Amino acid sequence: MAALRKHLSRLKECTEAATAVEFALVMPVFMAMLFGIIIFGAYLTVVHGVQQLAAEAARASISGINESERLTLARDNINANARSYPLISMQRLQIQTASTDPATNVFAVTLRYDASNIWFFNLPAFVPAPPSTIVRSAAIQRGGY
């Protein structure tokens, strides 16, 4: 009985295994947070790029005389600038709408991007993934001529 008490008292003082247990408990939470930050950071980079493309296309279209010229200017601007965003593929980007609202005289560009081919959507479902379809729009007021 004395040997058992001596062994138990030594076990209480031993902290070598405590570190391993703490590591085993904390590491999955830490990894989930780390992967979540990386995944959502990359996702927000793509969202920001699509939004910027829509805004640049709307601004470029302002010099168009008629609706078809504004659409051509917007499309040309998207084609010229999409390559400057490294996570955006032109094959998956499409112009959903680009038109002038006659009541408000506002030209709006709406882009839809299918982000399902990005690397983090192919990872195991360790953390919840954001939606793979990104829709962003930008509008610009045309002059009162």
pLDDT at residue 38, rounded to an integer:
84
| pTM metric for this prediction | 0.77
> Which tokens sit at 11?
């076990």
pLDDT tens profile 79-96: 999 999 988 999 999 988
CA distance 62 to 141: 8
pLDDT at residue 112, rounded to an integer:
96
pLDDT at residue 8, rounded to an integer:
66
pLDDT tens profile 87-134: 899 999 998 888 888 788 888 999 999 988 887 777 776 667 788 899
Domain boundary assignment for the chain: 18-141
> Which tokens sit at 66?
């008629």
Question: Do the beta carbons of residue 90 and residue 83 sit within 8 Å?
Answer: yes
CA distance 130 to 50: 15
pLDDT at residue 122, rounded to an integer:
74
pLDDT at residue 22, rounded to an integer:
84
pLDDT tens profile 5-60: 776 677 666 666 777 788 889 999 998 888 888 888 889 999 999 999 999 999 99
pLDDT at residue 55, rounded to an integer:
95
